[in-house]
Structure 1
């Protein structure tokens, strides 16, 4: 039986260094991230008495490219997990694919293994509106092989780099969690009495485009009529490295029920919602899963699940969560009662 292995290849502009990866998508299991395995091939006549390195780069864009001015750009790049391949400093444990590549490529092919940082987020990118040009906010990784006297001596003509994607996996234990529910009782300054919202979902984990069944019980003990009941699926996002407790919420889908609930009355309602990528507007602002190809289909960014030892506030990158938001509105002069029921959005297997 003949077994075929797929590898990804990229050469430097001067064709003196070539990097090979066994895959370009790596799963973040929250407890650990798959290792990056590959091989670097180089021309010894070009290297001479210099060294050959392999390095992982973490690139975070946090602003519009067309707004950059006066030499300032909205990109932070961290170079991490650098390994010297030649002259070799240590023995590398190789996989079968790496050994097959080395046997085929010759004596100047060296294997490497790299680790993703625990404190960094998965590959996320912000959806662009039809008026936007270039990336707005995104998080991506690349693996680079290069020649230099030291780690800082990186000549762009001898750098072979491949973009890779870090995908978030929903832990299996999340699927065993009970369906979430919640309640809130709200008092108002401009009228007497309270409004109580009780709501529940039918599952704790959903996939994109999967139906979310929402049950709502609304009790109006206020002196004013509850005019409408609103239910939304919202994406909640933060960038902990820049701000603390500043959460952006963007609506993915909404339902508006003009109930006209009189004082002393109660009602039960059921809604079917879906977490899906909304239609592209003038400005996007929804976080999506990072893509390796521009023509790939847009997918919602899955919920971020951090490593057990990592605090959300320490994350370098983007933190994404989801919730069903239930709002009872008494009118503009009296205020609203708002209840959020969080759930986990899992990436659909590809």
Structure 2
């Protein structure tokens, strides 16, 4: 059950003064310091995300081909994401709808690993005629998902583009 409360990993440093090593700490003789880990975006951009996928159909001599790309890999909060989509439909099927969505993936790696995903932005168009080491904590990733809807019998053609969303490093 999701209770809607924030989820995270908290670090706390606690120090106390005692006369003997086995004395219990009390509020009046201890101090606590909360520590928060902040990650900033790298200074240089990575490789531009791009993906190509194709789908073949029975009784159709040619394929439906989808190319999707982002204008860059790294975005800052509040910045627009430009998604470039190129469709080459050489099949005899009709693309009925194009959906583009931004999805957030959160991997919670504590005692066991669980993954949660949710759509954080989405655009839809009707078509009339043709680096991992061991991690503990919460790992958040983002992907742009491009989906071509071909109707009940045609199925869907899906492409995903991972990207980075981070705060810029503050100037010193």
TM-score (norm 2): 0.81
The structure carrying a bigger helix percent of its residues is 1
SS in 2 for 1:211: coil
Structure that is richer in strand per residue: 2
1:254 to 2:122 alignment: yes
The whole-number CA distance in structure 1 between the counterparts of 2:142 and 2:39 is 14
Give per-residue Cα distances to partners, 1:101-120, cap 9 Å, x unaligned.
xxxxxxxxxxxxxxxxxxxx
Residue ranges of structure 1 left out of the alignment (5+ in a row): 1-61, 65-127, 129-134, 263-305
Relative to 1, partners in 2 of residues 1:332 and 1:168: Cα closer, same or farther, differing over 3 Å? farther
Give the aligned partner of residue 209 of structure 1: 78
Q: Is the 8 A contact 1:225 1:260 kept in 2?
A: no
Aligned to 1:170: 41
Please give the residue correspondences for 1:47-62 in structure 2 after superposition, counting only pairs within 5 Å.
none
- Partner Cα separation in structure 1 for residue 109 and residue 90 of structure 2: 39
Gap change, CA 1:333 and 1:155, over 3 Å in 2 = farther
- Cα-Cα RMSD: 2.7
Distance 2:92 2:75 in 1: 38
**Residue equivalent to 1:183:** 52
| Distance in structure 2 (CA, Å) of the matches to 1:214 and 1:140 | 36
CA deviation after TM superposition for structure 1 residue 181, in Å? 1.4
1:159–1:223 Cα change, 3 Å:
farther
Alpha carbons 1:225, 1:261 under 8 Å: kept: yes
Deviation at 1:153, TM superposition (A): 5.5
Does 2:171 correspond to 1:325?
no
- Measured after TM superposition, the shift of residue 154 of structure 1 is 4.5
Report the CA distance between 1:160 and its aligned residue. 1.5
Higher relative contact order (CA 8 A, sep 6+): 2
8 Å Cα contact 2:41/2:169 also seen in 1:
no
Select the residue among 129, 132, 139 that pairs with 2:9: 139
Aligned equivalents of 1:194 and 1:248: distance in 2? 33
Structure 1 residue aligned with 2:31: 160
* Structure 1 runs (4+) greater than 4 angstroms displaced: none
Asked if the contact 1:235–1:321 (Cα under 8 Å) also holds between the matched residues in 2, the reply is yes
1:139/1:188 CA distance change after superposition, 3 Å: farther
Q: Which residue of 126, 130, 135 maps to 1:315?
A: 135
TM-score (norm 1): 0.42
